[in-house]
A and B are shown apart, each in its own frame.
Chain A
Amino acid sequence: EAEVAQSPRYKITEKSQAVAFWCDPISGHATLYWYRQILGQGPELLVQFQDESVVDDSQLPKDRFSAERLKGVDSTLKIQPAELGDSAMYLCASGDLYGYTFGSGTRLTVV
């Protein structure tokens, strides 16, 4: 069964440092999402791509977060500088007309 790959699985970083997460969606899926999930809450959308274009980044804190999907395939989410409040699970999902598949996420801890 096709999967959405994410790495790293866990990341610990000091505040004010830069951190990056990588996502490889299911082959052929044009739509890719990054979600952030704070412990005890449901996932919240950060950014949505259609191929290489950003469709919605209204919830992305653009002063410190950036996302790219240069060739319309894999994607990178970056935080610089990281803050304590960024500690969360970062989930990537890809989809087609019928549904979405999520990766296992990257658990970020900022110390």
Chain B
Amino acid sequence: DAKTTQPPSMDCAEGRAANLPCNHSTISGNEYVYWYRQIHSQGPQYIIHGLKNNETNEMASLIITEDRKSSTLILPHATLRDTAVYYCIVRVVYNAGNMLTFGGGTRLMVKP
């Protein structure tokens, strides 16, 4: 699976949008971009994933650049409960045998 690069930490004001970037310049055509987050002392939680098009669900939006070499996870109205480590992962989907390879992630601190 392709390697990803994320900033180690970010701050965001409560109620504002949090934009978390991820670089994946060596991504292959059949690899999807996944985002997970991990709140302190809990297991990672799935947020969203996408291939080429932008995706949105009840938790977040995922913006993938046209060349697919980078993406941004957007939490539109960050709350204190969104404070967590966010992991960007690329992997081939539709193959349950492909594991998730985690990097260091971005530690997002939402401040009042």
Contacts and interface: CB of A to CB of B under 8 A. Distances in A.
- Consensus secondary structure, chain B interface: loop
A91 B44 contact: yes
A102 B45 contact: yes
B99 A56 contact: yes
B95 interface: yes
Interface residues of B, number: 22
- Consensus secondary structure, chain A interface: strand
A103 to B, nearest CB: 5
Given A41-B104, A93-B100, A107-B41, 4 more contacts: A30-B96, A42-B103, A43-B100, A50-B96
B42 to A, nearest CB: 6
Interface of A: 4, 30-31, 33, 35, 41-45, 48, 50, 55-56, 89, 91, 93, 95-105, 107
Contacts of A100: 46, 100
